[in-house]
């Protein structure tokens, strides 16, 4: 930081520099969005002022006509977006405009591939915001005065977008923020009344505050035609600048559905959702009952980069009779629906209360319930009528929705119907199997919904426990998202059918096993009795039990957890998370038809017998994606067997 006569020069945070660079180079084909972003910020600033002024109307200081003004100066080559909203203090400017205080930013930026087309897409996940000004400007000046601050407590921020910015205390006569863009030589097209008006109408028509532009010489609105009296007035006030409202300036959600076009819904989404892309779907409804409120909710097409960030900023915005109150995450939407964006506007909530009191208001709870119901209906309808779109939703937000099974007992069944999984039916990584369709395909005598969990899709798919299921053509759900372990711990049944892990407990395929299967197993149990005892003795404390199995067809061995034990992958997840997970001993099952097991049975050499039984145990662990406690021991035993096998 350097200072000269009260002016400080500061360096942008590295992340901001990278973002600026990216923005300038990858958004060139969508330049005019900078206007939408700056107007969107101005609109938010106006919302915030109106909220603060409920408790302290002195903040208006005689100027309660809130508006956003767009002007340009051809000679100076500047375009200015000014608001009389909340404004910012010096510290706020430094932290809001000089840094990006969002965790995950660095990771996000690292994920960029310097492929301009792809990056332009990715940046939408991030939200472009204020920095988009640098797409068209080679210098940006922001002058702002916080509502309630003295005129000489204003701040001037300036930057050429090249890594540094200056900050300076200045005097500003009125409250609010002015952003002055000094346009790049090739962007002069924006110094044009018609171009600006049409851009404002296209992108910002829904903004609830008036967006004003000066009545230009060459521009006469239709309604003024032939209005002699008005023309006379205009001549008298010639010296006064005459402003006119360019946008509709009414809250979009208060208008009736039939009057709103798809484009308007889409542009409004980009504003409330801080997104760059079109939404996947929306629902607009007025709810009347004990409480009255209007919702306009959206499902984004793509996950925001901070979907996993507990402090993420954006969610559903709460309005009370069109006054913005708060942007609440968990208060208005459960965590498993945190991807939902939009607004809810209530007529019943009091205006002049603190957010804290508001959060305890029973109406907020009722509204939340109502909104959750609306999101469910939207998703259910999509799942029913537009499978492709629903798949797109599921691919993006499925892992988040799965949390609903765990978190929201009252809606467990409703969430369960929306779940989609991979399964052995298609053996594809795409999660598109619903529990309903699984149940419909169940074999006549099948009693349970079978699943297997693994650390990755491949691990689940190749799980040795699946072998007999594949042989008998019984479908098994392949679960490999981290949340799945918790999901199956909470979802015990669906449609009256229990969910059953193929890797837990004694295998009971119930009626699906025919008499011949049972007899064969009994025969093997007799024949292998001695072997089983020997292996058990050799492995000692490592296993709970050893037995022969009919679970396997291709693999020689596998490990099985007790019915009520933690699964092996759950143990791993807990341990990775630093939690003390008990190591539960598991049962080793041997495939009596496998040549290696037969060889083991016939092995006379004590050392070789021991090596091979340890290897069968280690293999079983590796086969399901587990880790060996003593890998060197495994390698030693394997090598000595390899050497013996001339």
Where along the sequence are the contacts to ligand ADP (CB under 6 A)? 41-42, 45, 83, 85-88, 96-97, 127, 129-130, 177, 274
Residue facing ligand ADP at closest CB distance: 129
CB 455 within 8 A of CB 576: no
Which among 498, 458, 448, 508 has a CA at the least distance from the CA of 478?
A: 458
CB 418 within 8 A of CB 398: no
Q: Is the dihedral of CA 570, 575, 578, 579 positive or negative?
A: positive
CB 50 within 8 A of CB 66: yes
Alpha-carbon distance 348 to 325, whole Å? 13
Neighbours of 15 (CB within 10 A): 16
Place of tokens 């280690």: 618
Name the β-bridge partners of 180: 80, 141
Q: Which is nearer to ligand ADP, 149 or 638 (CB)?
A: 149
Q: How far is the CB of 45 from ligand ADP (least distance, A)?
A: 3
Alpha-carbon distance 452 to 458, whole Å? 12
Alpha-carbon distance 215 to 231, whole Å? 13
User: Can you say how many angstroms the Cα of residue 155 is from the centroid of all Cα atoms in its chain?
Assistant: 35
429: helix, coil or strand?
Answer: coil
Measuring CA to CA, how many Å separate 325 from each of 103, 226, 299, 322, 634? 25, 44, 22, 9, 63
Is residue 248 within a helix (H) or strand (E), and if so which, with residue range?
A: none
Q: How far is the CB of 57 from ligand ADP (least distance, A)?
A: 19
Residue 102 in tokens: 């969002």
Residue 423 in tokens: 């399964």
Q: How far is the CB of 317 from ligand ADP (least distance, A)?
A: 13
Measuring CA to CA, how many Å separate 184 from each of 139, 502, 569? 8, 64, 56
CB 296 within 8 A of CB 315: no
Listed in sequence order, the DSSP H helices in 386-444 are: 387-407, 412-418, 435-441
- 116's CB contacts (< 8 A; 6+ apart) are 25, 26
Q: How far is the CB of 82 from ligand ADP (least distance, A)?
A: 9
CB 93 within 8 A of CB 10: no
- 631's CB contacts (< 8 A; 6+ apart) are none
- How, if at all, do strands 68-73 and 154-159 pair? unpaired
Which among 190, 175, 188 has a CA at the least distance from the CA of 71?
A: 190
Q: Which is nearer to ligand ADP, 44 or 187 (CB)?
A: 44
Q: Which is nearer to ligand ADP, 38 or 483 (CB)?
A: 38
CB 502 within 8 A of CB 463: yes
Q: Which is nearer to ligand ADP, 47 or 589 (CB)?
A: 47
Alpha-carbon distance 28 to 184, whole Å? 12
CB 560 within 8 A of CB 589: yes
- 470's CB contacts (< 8 A; 6+ apart) are 424, 553
Neighbours of 334 (CB within 10 A): 19
Alpha-carbon distance 363 to 291, whole Å? 7
Alpha-carbon distance 155 to 169, whole Å? 5
Alpha-carbon distance 472 to 285, whole Å? 49
Packing angle between helix 193-204 and helix 33-55, nearest 10 degrees? 60
CB 278 within 8 A of CB 269: yes
Neighbours of 117 (CB within 10 A): 9
């Amino acid at each position: 930081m350097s200072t000269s006569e009260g002016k400080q020069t500061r360096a942008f945070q590295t992340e901001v520099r990278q973002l600026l660079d990216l923005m300038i180079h990858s958004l060139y084909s969508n330049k005019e969005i900078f206007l939408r972003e700056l107007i969107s910020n101005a609109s938010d600033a106006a919302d915030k002022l109106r909220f603060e002024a409920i408790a302290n109307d002195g903040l208006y200081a005689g100027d309660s006509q809130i508006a956003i003004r767009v002007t340009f100066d051809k000679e100076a080559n500047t375009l200015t977006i000014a608001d009389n909203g909340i404004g910012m203090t010096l510290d706020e400017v430094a932290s809001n405009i000089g840094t990006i205080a969002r965790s995950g930013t660095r990771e996000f930026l690292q994920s960029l591939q310097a492929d301009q087309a792809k990056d332009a897409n990715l940046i939408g996940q991030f939200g472009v915001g204020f920095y988009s000004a640098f797409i068209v400007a080679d210098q940006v000046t922001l002058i702002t005065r916080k509502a309630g601050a003295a005129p000489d407590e204003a701040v001037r921020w300036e930057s050429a977008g090249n890594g540094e910015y200056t900050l300076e205390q200045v005097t500003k006569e009125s409250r609010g923020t002015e952003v002055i863009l000094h346009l790049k030589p090739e962007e002069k097209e924006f110094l044009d009344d018609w171009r600006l008006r049409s851009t404002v109408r296209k992108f910002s028509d829904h903004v609830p505050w008036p967006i004003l532009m000066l009545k230009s010489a060459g521009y006469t609105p239709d309604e003024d035609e032939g209005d002699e009296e008005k023309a006379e007035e205009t001549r008298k006030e010639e010296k006064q600048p005459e402003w006119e409202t360019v946008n509709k300036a009414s809250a979009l959600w208060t208008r009736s559905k039939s009057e709103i076009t798809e484009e308007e819904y889409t542009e409004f989404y980009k504003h409330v959702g801080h997104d760059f892309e079109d939404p996947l779907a929306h629902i607009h409804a007025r709810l009347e009952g004990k409480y009255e409120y209007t919702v306009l909710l959206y499902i984004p097409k793509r996950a925001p980069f901070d979907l996993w960030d507990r402090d993420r900023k954006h969610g559903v915005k709460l309005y009370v009779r069109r006054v913005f109150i708060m942007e609440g995450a968990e208060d208005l939407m459960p965590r498993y629906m945190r991807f939902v964006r939009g607004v809810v506007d209530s007529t019943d909530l009091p205006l002049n209360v603190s957010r804290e009191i508001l959060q305890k208001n029973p109406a907020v709870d009722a509204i939340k319930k109502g909104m959750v119901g609306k999101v469910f209906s939207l998703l259910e309808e999509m799942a029913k009528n537009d499978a492709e779109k629903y798949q797109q939703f599921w691919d993006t937000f499925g892992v988040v929705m799965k949390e609903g099974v765990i978190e929201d007992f009252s809606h467990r069944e409703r969430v369960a119907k929306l779940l989609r999984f991979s399964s052995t039916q298609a053996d594809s990584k795409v999660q598109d199997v619903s529990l309903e369709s699984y149940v419909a395909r169940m074999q006549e005598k099948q009693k349970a919904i079978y699943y297997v969990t693994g650390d990755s899709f491949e691990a689940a798919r190749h799980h040795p426990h699946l072998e007999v299921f594949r042989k008998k053509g019984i479908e098994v759900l392949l679960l490999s998202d981290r949340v799945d372990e918790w999901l199956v711990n909470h979802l015990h049944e669906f449609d009256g059918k229990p969910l059953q892990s193929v890797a837990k407990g004694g295998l009971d395929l119930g009626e699906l096993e025919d008499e011949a299967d049972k007899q064969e197993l009994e025969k093997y149990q007799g024949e292998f009795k001695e072997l089983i005892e020997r292996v058990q003795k050799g492995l000692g404390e490592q296993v709970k039990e050893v037995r022969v199995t009919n679970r396997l067809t291709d693999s020689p061995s596998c490990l099985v957890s007790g019915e009520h034990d933690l699964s092996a992958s759950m143990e791993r997840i807990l341990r990775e998370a630093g939690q003390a997970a008990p190591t539960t001993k598991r049962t080793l099952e041997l495939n009596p038809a496998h040549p290696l097991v037969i060889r083991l049975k016939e092995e006379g050499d004590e050392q070789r017998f021991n090596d091979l039984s340890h290897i069968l145990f280690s293999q079983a662990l590796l086969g399901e994606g587990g880790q060996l406690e003593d890998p060197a021991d495994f390698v030693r035993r394997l090598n000595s067997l390899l050497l013996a096998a001339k």
